[in-house]
């Protein structure tokens, strides 16, 4: 148990988690034995306040309270605003809740799952954005978020990344005092993530902005202060006091919060300073030839020849619409190239970027029919446990949330018998903890089975922890793209980041990568020396 419960732990918590003593009373509890939330984040004008923590820990509940749609009950049967005001009197939240109660506080929110937008709205992008545009910033948002070429398209025809940018624009266009963005990065490439982050920072110059974000490189550059959220998913959650962004991410990665004296994870999430050395003697499993392909009169992909090595993970990076999925589908034999013969005679297991749980089938049955190893302790130890699938086995595919479906899809991909494993954006909808566990699972899988895994992702922390080598895509999105040959991480990261004109430094304490401020001394130095990433 975790030590807070006198009797047997109702949540089967295996980690040492303690509640700070002063938090004896929850801020809110759903029903008698329901989920309990302790503490609240504090929105502040002129600041981006981040919330960092796993899913199911009460972040949305906190935001419902801050938006006035849920009255906190302090663990009692029913809450009322008088009690709330009394409770917070003399604190920063008093003024905030007073404005909520008097109806003076207006809130604008971007939902977590943008895939739902087409179900709630029909019409063109322009209609949606014009309707949301209370601040009269339509043109500005369209330009900043690069929405020009989808402005007259039907919302129902937009890709995930397009929906995400439309949702960010709609939220930012409203006239409000408090803006809440629940994850901005899903489906966006790194360039779009940084763009969106800068837009939100501008918004925060005059407004109070709060974000939940699981891409740590983005949270790091976006937020001014961060509340760490910890606890037991579905059991209880604690929101800490705000900490500086660098400190909070470092504490989170180390798994220990000194001010609270709480260990949130048995071990730290660690980064290597030096790129992995690719050993010459690693066996090459497969050479693929150069090839090219054209979609009618549309997009043109050129791929340089390359090879895949035994037991390695190849990170694949590049902007959206540059041909990454197309490349992967050619290797998988799904599409024929125009030039070049792809006769690899290999079996490919593929996890697509967009996953749908449309068959009414239990997770247990779904995975069990893919692999006969499902019931082995090896499978459960290597796949089931690290991907936190045990609680999902009896659920139906159709009832799973985005993050739950993602973990099942990763498991399904790794469960198939194949020579090459391709995972397209496995980090989407996963929280930081799950990303780190998914990274370990994929890496161990490749090592243990001596197969090759290719992972397309935009989360730099994930690519950094996961990959031995990289394939960098370059070109003009939607027009043409080149898939370069696999390179070392050192060459690959430099190439990728110089295309983006972004440099990273290493945090002195944890070695995690941090985006340099454009034009800062380090940024200029690194650009001059051509070391965009591995720089100490
Ligand atoms: P997060 O945003 O961190 O993922 P949420 O605040 O959405 O977490 O949910 C925290 C917990 O509260 C979850 O276990 C969820 O099932 C539970 N919960 C959320 N809303 C309700 C509700 N209306 N009634 C009962 N339980 C709820
Ligand atoms: P990425 O995975 O890098 O985002 P894709 O390979 O999915 O890129 O797409 C590259 C370009 O090719 C995009 O402009 C996309 O709209 C276009 N495209 C993808 N599939 C098809 C297709 N079947 N027919 C025509 N165009 C396509
Ligand atoms: Mg949530």
Q: Dump pLDDT digits (tens) for 70-116.
A: 999 999 999 999 999 999 999 989 999 999 999 999 999 998 889 88
- pLDDT for res 100: 94
DSSP state at residue 392: G
Nearest ligand 2 atom, CA 295: 25
Q: How far apart are CA 498 and CA 114, in angstroms?
A: 30
Q: Give, using CA atoms, the residue closest to atom 24 of ligand 2.
A: 295
Query: Residue 36 pairs with which residues in a beta bridge?
Result: 29, 236
Average pLDDT, the chain: 91
pLDDT band at 2 (very low <50, low <70, confident <90, very high): very low
pTM confidence score: 0.91
The response to whether residue 324 sits with its C-beta less than 6 Å from ligand 2 reads yes
CA 493 to chain centroid, in Å, comes to 20
Q: Are 523 and 529 in contact (CB under 8 A)?
A: no
**Is 239 in contact with 51 (CB distance < 8 Å)?**
yes
Ligand index nearest the alpha carbon of residue 318: 2
- Best of 58, 75, 391 to mutate for ligand 1, by most ligand atoms within 8 A of CB? 58
Of all ligands present, the nearest one to the C-alpha of 59 is 1
Residue nearest to ligand 2 atom 12, measured at CA? 299
For position 536, what pLDDT does the model report? 63
34 lines ligand 1 (CB under 6 A): yes
3-state secondary structure of 26: coil
Ligand 2 centroid from CA 312, angstroms: 26
* Residue 336 scores a pLDDT above 70: yes
3-state secondary structure of 306: strand
> Is the Cβ atom of 185 under 6 angstroms away from ligand 1?
no
ipTM of this complex prediction, to 2 decimal places: 0.91
Q: Please name the residue whose Cα sits nearest to atom 12 of ligand 1.
A: 35
For residue 475, the ligand closest to its alpha carbon is 2
Instruction: Provide the token pair at 18.
Output: 């303690």
Distance 182 CA to ligand 1 centre (A): 14
Task: Give me ligand 3 centre to Cα 391, in Å.
Answer: 18
Decide: 482 in ligand 2 pocket, CB within 6 A. no
The residues facing 47 across adjacent strands are 208
Confidence at residue 7, expressed as pLDDT on a 0 to 100 scale = 36
Name the residue of 157, 321, 457 whose CB sits within 8 Å of the most ligand 2 atoms, as the mutation to test its pocket.
Answer: 321
Residue 280: the pLDDT is 65
Structure confidence at residue 491 as a pLDDT band (50, 70, 90): very high
Q: Are 74 and 87 in contact (CB under 8 A)?
A: yes
Mean pLDDT along residues 145-168 = 94
Q: What residues does 487 pair with on adjacent strands?
A: 470
- How many A from CA of 320 to the centre of ligand 2? 9
Residue 247 CB burial class (10 angstroms; 0-12, 13-18, ≥19): middle
Q: CA torsion, points 409, 192, 510, 248, in degrees to nearest 10?
A: -90
Residue 519 DSSP class = T
The answer to whether the CB of 35 is under 6 A from ligand 1 is: yes
Find the 214 Cα to ligand 3 centroid distance in Å.
12
What residues pack around ion ligand 3 (CB closer than 5 A)? Answer: 60
What would the pLDDT profile of 358-398 be if each residue is shown by its tens digit? Answer: 889 999 999 999 999 999 999 999 999 999 999 999 999 99
What's the CA-to-centroid distance between 112 and ligand 3, angstroms?
A: 7
Please say if the pLDDT value at position 13 is more than 50. Answer: no
Between CA 222 and CA 233 the distance in angstroms is: 25
pLDDT tens, 212-266?
Answer: 999 999 999 999 999 999 998 889 999 999 999 999 999 999 999 999 889 998 8
Please tell me the least confidently modeled range out of 262-276, 314-328, 358-372, 431-445: 262-276
């Amino acid at each position: 148990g975790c030590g807070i419960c006198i009797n047997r732990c109702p949540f089967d918590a295996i980690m040492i988690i303690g509640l700070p003593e002063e938090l004896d009373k929850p801020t809110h509890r759903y029903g008698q034995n329901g989920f309990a939330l302790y503490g609240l984040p504090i929105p502040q004008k002129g600041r981006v306040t981040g919330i960092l923590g796993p899913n199911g820990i009460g972040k949305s509940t906190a935001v419902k309270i801050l938006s006035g749609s849920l009255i906190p009950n302090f663990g009692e049967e029913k809450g009322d605003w008088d009690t709330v005001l009394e409770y917070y009197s003399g604190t920063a939240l008093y003024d905030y809740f007073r404005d909520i109660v008097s109806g003076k506080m207006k809130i604008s929110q971007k939902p977590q799952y943008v895939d739902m937008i087409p179900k709630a709205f029909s019409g063109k992008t322009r209609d949606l954005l014009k309707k949301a545009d209370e601040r009269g910033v339509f043109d500005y948002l369209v330009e900043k978020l690069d929405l020009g070429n989808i402005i007259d398209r039907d919302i129902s025809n937009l890709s995930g990344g397009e929906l995400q940018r439309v949702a960010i624009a709609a939220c930012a266009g409203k006239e409000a005092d408090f803006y809440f963005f629940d994850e901005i990065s899903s489906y966006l490439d790194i360039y779009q993530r940084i763009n969106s982050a800068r837009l939100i920072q501008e918004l925060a110059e005059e407004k109070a902005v709060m974000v939940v974000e699981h891409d740590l490189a983005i949270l790091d550059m976006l937020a001014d202060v961060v509340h760490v959220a910890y606890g037991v998913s579905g059991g209880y959650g604690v929101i800490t006091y705000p900490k500086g962004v660098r400190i909070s991410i470092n504490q989170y990665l180390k798994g220990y919060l000194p001010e609270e004296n709480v260990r949130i994870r048995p071990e730290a999430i660690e980064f290597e300073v030096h790129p992995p050395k690719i050993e010459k003697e690693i066996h090459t499993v497969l050479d693929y030839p150069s090839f090219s392909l054209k979609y009618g009169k549309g997009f043109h992909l050129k791929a340089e020849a390359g090879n895949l090595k035994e037991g390695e993970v190849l990170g694949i990076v590049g902007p959206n619409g540059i041909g990454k999925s197309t490349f992967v589908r050619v290797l998988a034999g799904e599409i024929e190239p125009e030039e070049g013969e792809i006769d690899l005679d290999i079996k490919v297991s593929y996890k697509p970027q967009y996953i749908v749980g449309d068959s009414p089938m239990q997770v247990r049955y779904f995975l069990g029919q893919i692999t006969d190893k499902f019931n082995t302790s090896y499978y459960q130890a290597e796949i089931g446990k690290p991907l936190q699938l045990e609680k999902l086995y009896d659920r139906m595919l159709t009832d799973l949330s985005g993050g739950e479906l993602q973990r099942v899809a990763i498991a399904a991909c790794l469960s198939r018998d194949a020579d090459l494993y391709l995972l397209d954006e496995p980090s989407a909808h996963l929280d930081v903890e799950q990303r780190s566990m998914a990274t370990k699972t994929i890496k161990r899988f490749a090592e243990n089975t001596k197969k090759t895994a290719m992972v397309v992702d935009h989360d730099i922390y994930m690519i950094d922890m996961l990959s031995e080598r990289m394939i960098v895509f370059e070109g003009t999105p939607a027009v043409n793209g080149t898939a370069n040959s696999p390179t070392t991480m050192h060459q690959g990261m430099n190439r990728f980041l110089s295309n983006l004109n972004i440099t990273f430094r290493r945090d002195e304490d944890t070695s995690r990568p941090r985006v340099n401020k454009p034009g800062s001394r380090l940024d200029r130095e690194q650009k001059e020396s051509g070391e965009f990433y591995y720089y100490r």
